[in-house]
Amino acid sequence: MHDKKSKIDFFLASRQKCFDIKDVMALYNSLLALPEERVDKLMELKLVSPRTALILSFFLGVLGVDRFYCRNNKLGIAKLFSIAACGFWWLGDIFAIRGAARTANYKILRNFIINPIKEEDAD
């Protein structure tokens, strides 16, 4: 696993449940254009697990914990203060939260590509 393409392929294959394939393929060429040292940092990305999001949604979704986990703080706050609209929002999110987790991961990956240097990277 020495070349950049194989590292990217390994990253995507090992995290295939975290993304919608159509979203990742839209970013594939941008990933290939990244410098080698940025590709090495791909494995360090903190992604949202769709399975964990579903579990959180089932047990703590009424409080918006699932949306906070998916890094959507505005919806998390709205869900918390509305008490999940008396359960209707909670019930809908049980079916939709895995897609929200995948969307969050797409945004995380897109931001990783767009923002070449983060504060923790600049030493």
| Contact residues for 113 (Cβ-Cβ < 8 A; gap 6+) | 27, 30, 31, 34
Q: Is 50 exposed, middle or buried (0-12, 13-18, 19+ CB in 10 A)?
A: buried
Q: What is the pLDDT of residue 118?
A: 53
Greater confidence (122 vs 61) lies with 61
Q: What is the pLDDT of residue 79?
A: 87
Give the model's confidence band at 119: pLDDT under 50 very low, under 70 low, under 90 confident, else very high.
very low
**Does 2 score more than 90 pLDDT?**
no
- Give the tokens for residue 78: 């709205």
For 44, 69, 86, the CA distances from 97, given in Å and listed in that order, are 23, 10, 18
